Amino acid sequence: MKPTDKRRVTAVECAVRRYAGSVRQGSVPCRADGNAEGQAANYRDAAERAELRAEQVRQVIMTHGASLIQFVTYRNFGLHVDKLFRDYSGESLRLRVVDAIDRWTGYGCSPGVLRAICRQVFALDCSRQP
């Protein structure tokens, strides 16, 4: 991750330190293999990926002139599509993302901006095909 804002790096590092401390104290369950360092590293990777996706989504909505008040909604859409990418692939992924676009349009998002997020952030063609 190449952040331009040092606050984002600090926020991720702070979150990882808190998470690792919670694992050590036992307030967050540790993996079955007991590898707390690996668990914290996975948490760090996920947090960095989420920050990167949020920044990419922010750039897309800014170029499309979407309202800043809808940033959280569009960011949540990006996180949802990221999760779909981890769970599905191929045609099933594309169909799930098309369904997600329909659902998030109901939340007040512009379908054009949602498709642009899919295209520019995730390199996914989410147009409807017969």
- pLDDT 10s digits, 51-83: 888 899 999 999 998 887 888 999 999 999 999
Q: Is residue 126 part of a domain?
A: no
Candidate from 38-42, 52-56, 72-76, 91-95 with smallest mean pLDDT: 38-42
Residue 15 structure tokens: 């979150």
Q: Is residue 128 part of a domain?
A: no
Q: Which candidate, 27, 57, 22, places its Cα nearest to that of 43?
A: 22
Q: Is residue 117 part of a domain?
A: yes
Integer Cα distance of 91 and 68 in angstroms: 32
Task: Judge whether 80 and 90 are in contact, CB under 8 Å.
Answer: no
Report CA-CA distances (Å) from 121 to 33, 52, 75.
Answer: 34, 10, 11
3-state SS, residue 62:
helix
Q: Which amino acid is at 129?
A: Q
Integer Cα distance of 85 and 87 in angstroms: 6
Q: Is residue 1 part of a domain?
A: no
Q: Is residue 105 part of a domain?
A: yes
Q: Is residue 127 part of a domain?
A: no
The count of domains in the chain is 1
pTM of the complete model: 0.75
Q: Is residue 81 part of a domain?
A: yes
Task: Judge whether 9 and 3 are in contact, CB under 8 Å.
Answer: yes
Print the domain residue range for 111: 6-121
Q: Is residue 129 part of a domain?
A: no
